[in-house]
Chain A
Amino acid sequence: GYLDDQFVQLEELQDHANPNFVEEVVALFYKDSSRLLLNIDQALEKKPLEFTKLDGYMHQFKGSSSSIGAKKVKAECTLFRDYCRAGNAEGCMRTFQQLKKEYATLRKKLEAYFQ
């Protein structure tokens, strides 16, 4: 699955006080994650790669992804960070491409969900 238990938790938090809670959270996630992805994209264009910085960005992105339970995206984040720590530039690039794919897929699924 694309989303884990966290998403279920979010749904459980939704109530009449916050009827659109999940949607709001997801919207926040989009905003925050887009910004972070852009940062990472830009950082990946710098040569040589600043692994510490990249690791930091990815850490933030991972945190963001965990907020809605984006399981697959999170897994890519972890992989990316491993590559960062190993100083493996190619690994980072590859993983990031994969991550972006997963992210795009997730967004599509969520959009469908909210329709």
Chain B
Amino acid sequence: MENCFSSPRTDMFPAGLRVLVVDDDPTWLKILEKMLKKCSYEVTTCCLAREALDLLRERKDGFDIVISDVNMPDMDGFKLLEHVGLEMDLPVIMMSVDGETSRVMKGVQHGACDYLLKPIRMKELRNIWQHVFRKKIHEVRDIECHDVLDDFQMMRNRSDQSDDVRLSSGGDLTVRKRKDVEHKHDEKELGDPSSAKKARVVWSVDLHQKFVKAVNQIGFEKVGPKKILDLMTVPWLTRENVASHLQKYRLYLSRLQKENETKSSFSGMKHSDSSSKDSTGSFSLQNSVSMHQGDAATGGYGCSANNILAQKVDRGICNTESKGIISMPKTEHDKFVLEDISDPQRASSSSHIGFSHSFQSVEPGVAYSAFCSSIPAQYSWSSPETQFNFRQECRSPLHETGSSPLSQLPGFRHHIQVDHLQPAASVNANPPMTERDKLGNVKIDPLYAKCRGTSPSEMTSVASTADSFLNQFDIHKAVKGQVLEPTSTAKLNMKIGGLNQDSIYNLEPTQKSLNLGDESNFVSLNEDRQVRWLEGDGYPVNIGGHNVEVWDQNDPPQLRGDVPLQLYDMLRFDWDYLYDSMEYPIMEEGLYIA
């Protein structure tokens, strides 16, 4: 890992860590500034959330970590947290004098990597660098995993596309692949990221602009890595590079959509808020879908997912933060989204995607739920209702509506723990906080607050529980994957991939090297799911890694309408999202210019 840090600043890591502190209380601002300086960190203080966001946007890559108070006059701390996660993908630590579990939970759900209680001790601040470090590690792993998964994906793609065939051949492939991947992963883990098998592509502003141009030219729904690559005429760029970038881009767009939604209805993404945001009917659907509203019937859910996604897309387009970039894909995106949703099951996955995109913010929770939904498919692939139920459940946890998500979580947790006792294989893709293995539900990791609280581990354990639980679980899983994004996108991907793989063949403790087995929960889950998963569709397996590849080969709309597709979509996005985070810093100028 040391190799990742090459600049002089990083040589003395953690000294010189660039911290941005946001707090409306001037007394605390002064104290924190002094404390952080004592840790030899570079401190910038801000008393307004808006100011902080402006600063962050202005100085892209100018900060390593953000510490923010929860209660601020101009903007809710959780919202800021979401923004930062979405736009800058920086670790964010929340703080408050209020240490109520629900608040802490909310923080985690929204993606905070830690939640400190005031008064804050020096020792607590001294260790904040771990969050930055962890993210870096995950990024590296992401790259590695990505590479590995790409290979894997390719192999899988070669197999027959039918589910059945996939099941059988996929299993074989996955078994083989897994081993290969593991080996590769092992190698990479130890090695310098720069010596990874595939050189990481730096998506400069120019490159990204070319990419966006190509995407818009082709038409968002028809877009495929090969087409984009051809249009871009960048000789050294590979289709895989483009594919993974496209995934991230899509995730980014959906996140922006969510962001817009949240912005308009800042009230914390209440259902009503969402609806108010979006006047269209679909929007309301959305609410129900994402917001745990409720009971979205499976069909409804699916539909809403569609709508939401559409909505999301729209929003994304409107998002001022991504003006240039977003505007184009808007229509295409809509189509894209809708296409996926055509099938109810797909819808769920679509919804997931949308949701997942917004992981960073509250929305991601939704995505996760979507994601989760897809995952549940694993368990109960054959029962769309379950999935939907699942979703519903997921939704609730995802959304910030306060108590409902929380109540959901505990349920999950409970189940998860019971079911799952995974060994600690997990690499801890999720940073800080969760110990998935132990809790099973941990994964809520701050990052992925989205699904809130359902860490992958939870998800896995859920699998074994009733369908309803499973649903939740899936959601969590999805969430997890998504949530992980911030910190360990790679991990997540791996996890998902691992999950799939596990499904295919029992997870092995060695997965960890791949991050596949990262979450023991996953593993346990996988077992249950394995059977199901395979039944559903071989695709989901290794979604993380393969998404890109598979995706390339099969445009999303072509994917099977049934669950596998959903999962695929979800996973795809998850992965994208995960990888995305890796590239965000690079892409920032191009993509996320406010």
Contact = CB atoms under 8 A, between A and B. Distances in A.
A31 B98 CA distance: 22
B30 A32 contact: no
A64 B25 contact: yes
Given A21-B34, A59-B97, A28 B27 contact: yes
A75 interface: no
A67 B118 contact: yes
B593 to A, nearest CB: 34
A63 interface: yes
Interface residues of B, number: 20
Contact of B30 (A6, A9, A25): A25
B96 interface: yes
Interface in B98-157: 98, 118-119, 121-122
Contacts of A10: 31
Contact of A6 (B25, B69, B98, B119): B119
A92 to B, nearest CB: 18
Interface in B69-88: 69, 71
Q: Interface of chain A, helix or strand or loop or mixed? A: helix
B35 A66 contact: no
Contact of A59 (B28, B35, B98): B98
Given A63-B96, A64-B25, A24 B122 contact: no
A67 B25 contact: yes
Task: Please indicate which of the listed interface residues A21, A67, A68, A69 has the most CB atoms of chain B within 10 Å of its own CB.
Answer: A67
Nearest to A13: B34
B26 interface: yes
Given A24-B30, A28-B27, A13 B119 contact: no
A67 B26 CA distance: 10
Given A13-B34, A13-B38, A59 B118 contact: no
Contacts of B24: 60
Nearest to B35: A13
Interface residues of A, number: 25
A6 B32 CA distance: 12
Contacts of B31: 10, 13, 25, 67
A59 B27 contact: no
Interface string A25-56: 10011011000000000000000000000001
B27 A25 contact: yes
B27 A9 contact: no
B119 A69 contact: yes
A9 B118 contact: no
Nearest to B71: A59
Given A6-B119, A9-B122, A60-B71, A67 B34 contact: no
Closest 5 CB pairs of A and B: A6-B119, A67-B27, A63-B97, A28-B27, A29-B27
20 contacts: A12-B122, A13-B31, A17-B37, A25-B27, A25-B31, A28-B27, A29-B27, A31-B26, A32-B26, A56-B71, A59-B71, A59-B98, A63-B69, A63-B118, A64-B27, A64-B28, A66-B118, A67-B27, A68-B27, A69-B119
Given A12-B122, A63-B71, A67-B119, 10 more contacts: A13-B35, A25-B27, A25-B30, A32-B27, A59-B71, A59-B97, A63-B97, A63-B118, A67-B27, A67-B31
